[in-house]
Structure 1
Amino acid sequence: MADLLIDNEFQTLRNRFKKDAEFLLNGVADNDNDEKSRESKEIKPLSRFNRHSVFWIMASVGLTYYTDFFPVLLRDANIKSWWFNIGVALLGVSLALALFSIVYLEWFRGIRQYDVQYPAIAPVTTAAFIAASCSFNIALWPVWSVFTPVILFTQFMGMVMFISLLG
């Protein structure tokens, strides 16, 4: 009896995944064609200014002000300078690769899908950024303790949202 129940559940799960796969391959379900076409006509492009962007930018500005972010980075003796310098170097690599991809490849050479022609750019940029964030967390831990990851993440999200408003 238990084997039959397990087989029945397995068959139900398999059918559900099969239906989901068909949906993903076709883009829409057969009975949803009319609804999807009406919805696609009514969709407007999202505004660059939204609550999400404003929240992260304001949170970043507030944290910068209340934590004295830049004066601490420049003058605090508790910062582990070796880790901080490693983080700055890795962040520089990450930003240089991002600027190379966006400015040179996309704007000047007109290559829209640079990840196809240069497949190593995205993983190297991501790895450099993750290593930089780890280095910054280690370097700044003596200053802000357990709040360090929250502060750095908020600063990162604020910068990402600010840059998205520019583009």
Structure 2
Amino acid sequence: MLNDNELATLRNRFRKDATFLLQGTASDDQDEKSQEEKDTKPLPRINRHSVFWIVASVAVTYYVDFLRVIMEDDDIKRWWFNVGLVLLGISLSLAMFCIVYLEWFKGIQHYDQEYPAIPPITTAAFIAASCSFNIALWPVWSFFTPLILFTQFMGVVMFISVLG
């Protein structure tokens, strides 16, 4: 068995560990409060990052004649392009359902907890749409296609974030 000296040492060690753990949870509470304060403090909508992506997207749209190519070019694999449009429509519809209906009308802030299947389905649909668009537009722009589409995507996302 343990003698009194070893028992006292063991007790002191547990007391120090308990004190350390209690101090750790107190600092965690302060971190949570600071995180809540960060959430309530609004961030600036317009910054250099968002302006860069919006300008880059407009420049790419202009210099590669994006809209004319999408509408008129015969090299586009139309089947893949249409599949990409359907998948993008699914992704955007689910996003609008979450933002407009669940958040604005129903007042559900954490819709991913209420409907846990929506975020992965939306993400999968968007990734599949981007792959379809890359396949469809590859004959037109070759290895520049992913760069062009990514720049367009970032420009749209940043433009929406500036508006919202």
TM-score, normalising length: structure 1: 0.75
Are residue 78 (structure 1) and residue 51 (structure 2) matched? no
In structure 2, give the amino acid aligned to 1:121.
I
In structure 1, give the amino acid aligned to 2:159.
F
The CA deviation at 1:28 is 4.9
Are residue 166 (structure 1) and residue 163 (structure 2) matched? yes
Counterpart-to-counterpart distance in 1, 2:115 and 2:121: 11
Q: Post-superposition, which runs of at least 4 consecutive aligned residues in structure 1 deviate over 6 A?
A: none
Q: Which residue of 1 aligns with 2:59?
A: 62
Q: Which residue of 1 aligns with 2:94?
A: 97
Q: What value does the CA root-mean-square deviation take over the aligned residues? A: 2.2
Q: Which residue of 1 aligns with 2:149?
A: 152
Match of 1:136 among 112, 133, 136: 133
Q: Judging changes above 3 Å, is the alpha-carbon distance between structure 1 residues 157 and 27 closer, same or farther for their aligned structure 2 residues? A: farther
| Larger gyration radius, structure 1 or structure 2 | 2
In structure 2, give the amino acid aligned to 1:122.
P
Q: Judging changes above 3 Å, is the alpha-carbon distance between structure 1 residues 26 and 68 closer, same or farther for their aligned structure 2 residues? A: farther
1:111-136 deviation line (CA, Å, top 9, x unaligned): 11111110000000000000000000
TM-score, normalising length: structure 2: 0.76
In structure 2, give the amino acid aligned to 1:51.
R
Match of 2:108 among 102, 111, 133: 111
In structure 2, give the amino acid aligned to 1:86.
V
In structure 2, give the amino acid aligned to 1:64.
T
Q: Judging changes above 3 Å, is the alpha-carbon distance between structure 1 residues 28 and 62 closer, same or farther for their aligned structure 2 residues? A: farther
Counterpart-to-counterpart distance in 2, 1:147 and 1:49: 28
In structure 1, give the amino acid aligned to 2:89.
G
In structure 2, give the amino acid aligned to 1:127.
A
Report percent identity of matched pairs.
70
Q: Judging changes above 3 Å, is the alpha-carbon distance between structure 1 residues 28 and 124 closer, same or farther for their aligned structure 2 residues? A: same
In structure 1, give the amino acid aligned to 2:119.
A
Q: Judging changes above 3 Å, is the alpha-carbon distance between structure 1 residues 120 and 67 closer, same or farther for their aligned structure 2 residues? A: same
The CA deviation at 1:46 is 2.8
1:47-72 deviation line (CA, Å, top 9, x unaligned): 11110000000000000000000110
Runs (5+) with no aligned partner, structure 1: 1-21
Matched positions, count? 135
The CA deviation at 1:27 is 8.4
Runs (5+) with no aligned partner, structure 2: 1-20
Counterpart-to-counterpart distance in 2, 1:50 and 1:72: 31
Q: Which residue of 1 aligns with 2:15?
A: none
SS of 1:49 mapped into structure 2: coil
Counterpart-to-counterpart distance in 2, 1:52 and 1:150: 17
The CA deviation at 1:45 is 4.2
